[in-house]
């Protein structure tokens, strides 16, 4: 049912055009029928002309109802279909970022023992043993798996914060631009361990375009139980239901250090 509503909304312009053509046609039919009604001399002809007037009026009302239903479907019903879950309307807040330094490789050199001191016994000197120094060994620290690349192809759909690879243990605050031609609304998506690695809509849609401003936030409370790499997305939809290219970037969710 949702896909049917989406298709009807996508072809709303053609439906409006068909309704206008139908209304114009039946207005002409009513005018011609009324002329025949005044010119008719027989009651049977007048009844037929009256029936044409009534039928044309009913069809004009029907086309008007179809146009109104299509408008309500495209502007009210369809924008609400993609919303999954509600965390409340995003409220601009102070950005609180937590940076965790990435462990790097550090070499731990092995100390080379000094050669033994020669021992002198009378006039005889004992030669020192040859000791081959051991090469230094490197200790590998924990590494972070490679992160997917950020992708924001449309200049009107951009995320400037957080930055790619940023680590969060609190709510994820988002800043950027969501302002396109024929703007209808924008929303956030999330993909990661807590969503079964499936892209899902989070929060409510926002119907006010914003440029280089705070766009909203995503609660991290439910994500801390399944930490890892998440893909945050910004999606802008126009008033015909079409989505502009998504802006996506990776972040890391992990509990704060004790």
Task: Tell me the average pLDDT across 197-222.
Answer: 90
Q: Is 50 exceeded by the pLDDT of residue 29?
A: yes
Cα separation, 206 vs 11, in Å, equals 24
So what's the pLDDT on residue 175?
94
Q: Give me the pLDDT at residue 84, please.
A: 47
Sign of the dihedral through C-alpha 253, 256, 257, 258: negative
pLDDT value at residue 123? 46
Distances (CA, A) of 214 to 54, 91, 122, 179, 252: 57, 9, 87, 13, 20
Mean pLDDT of 48-57: 87
- Does pLDDT of 179 surpass 80? yes
The predicted structure's pLDDT at residue 252: 92
pLDDT higher than 80, residue 214:
yes
Q: CA 219, CA 6: separation in Å to the nearest integer? A: 29
pLDDT score, position 215: 93
The mean pLDDT of the chain is 79
**Spacing of C-alpha 34 from chain mean position:** 56
Q: What is the pLDDT of residue 96?
A: 47
Q: Calculate the alpha carbon distances from 247 to 38, 138, 174, 201, 224 in Å.
A: 66, 40, 12, 14, 23
| Residue 165 backbone class (left: φ over 0; alpha: ψ -120 to 50; beta: rest) | left
Whether domain 157-253 has CATH 2.60.40.2550: the reply is: yes
User: How high is the pLDDT of residue 164?
Assistant: 87
pLDDT for 85 equals 44
pLDDT in tens, 74-129: 887 777 776 444 444 554 444 445 555 555 555 555 565 566 555 554 444 455 55
Range ranked top by mean pLDDT from 102-106, 117-121, 147-151, 234-238: 234-238
Q: Which residue has the higher pLDDT, 157 or 144?
A: 157
Predicted confidence (pLDDT) at residue 11 exceeds the cutoff of 60:
yes
Tokens of 6: 């989406």
Among 42, 45, 247, residue whose Cα is nearest residue 164 = 247
The C-alpha atoms of residue 225 and residue 192 are separated, in whole angstroms, by 12
| pLDDT for the residue 94 | 46
- Please, which residues have CB within 8 angstroms of residue 10's CB and are 6 or more apart in sequence? 240, 241, 242
CB crowding 114-128: b at 16 or more within 10 Å, else e: eeeeeeeeeeeeeee
Q: What is the mean pLDDT of residues 203-213?
A: 92
Do 205 and 81 touch, CB atoms closer than 8 A? no
The alpha-helical segments, DSSP class H, found in 86-238 are none
Give yes or no for a contact between 232 and 174, defined as CB atoms under 8 angstroms apart: yes
pLDDT at 204: 87
What are the structural domain ranges in the chain?
Answer: 2-80, 157-253
pLDDT attached to residue 86: 43
Contact assessment for residue 249 and residue 231, using Cβ atoms and an 8 Å cutoff: yes
Asked if pLDDT for residue 144 goes beyond 80, the answer is no
pLDDT of 256 strictly over 90: no
Average pLDDT in the 176-196 region?
93
């Amino acid at each position: 049912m949702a896909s049917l509503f989406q298709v009807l909304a996508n072809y709303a312009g053609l439906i409006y055009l068909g309704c206008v053509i139908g209304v114009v046609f039946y207005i002409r039919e009513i005018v011609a029928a009324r002329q025949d009604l005044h010119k008719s001399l027989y009651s049977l002809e007048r009844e037929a002309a009256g029936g044409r007037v009534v039928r044309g009026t009913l069809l004009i009302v029907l086309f008007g109802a179809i146009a109104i239903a299509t408008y309500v479907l495209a502007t009210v019903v369809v924008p609400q279909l993609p919303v999954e879950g509600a965390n409340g309307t995003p409220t601009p807040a102070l950005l609180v970022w937590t940076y965790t330094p990435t462990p790097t490789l550090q070499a731990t050199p092995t100390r080379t023992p000094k050669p033994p001191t020669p021992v002198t016994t009378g006039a005889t000197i004992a030669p020192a043993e040859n000791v081959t120094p051991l090469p230094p060994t490197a200790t590998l620290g924990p590494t972070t798996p490679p992160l997917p690349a950020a992708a924001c192809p449309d200049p009107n759909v951009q995320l400037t914060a957080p930055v790619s690879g940023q680590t969060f243990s609190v709510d994820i605050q988002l800043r950027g631009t969501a302002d396109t031609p024929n703007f209808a609304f924008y929303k956030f998506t999330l993909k990661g361990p807590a969503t079964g690695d499936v892209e899902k809509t989070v929060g409510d849609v926002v119907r006010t375009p914003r440029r280089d401003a705070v766009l909203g936030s995503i609660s991290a409370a439910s994500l801390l139980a399944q930490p890892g790499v998440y893909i945050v997305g910004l999606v802008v939809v126009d008033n015909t239901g079409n989505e502009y290219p998504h802006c996506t970037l990776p972040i890391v969710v992990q509990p704060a250090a004790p």
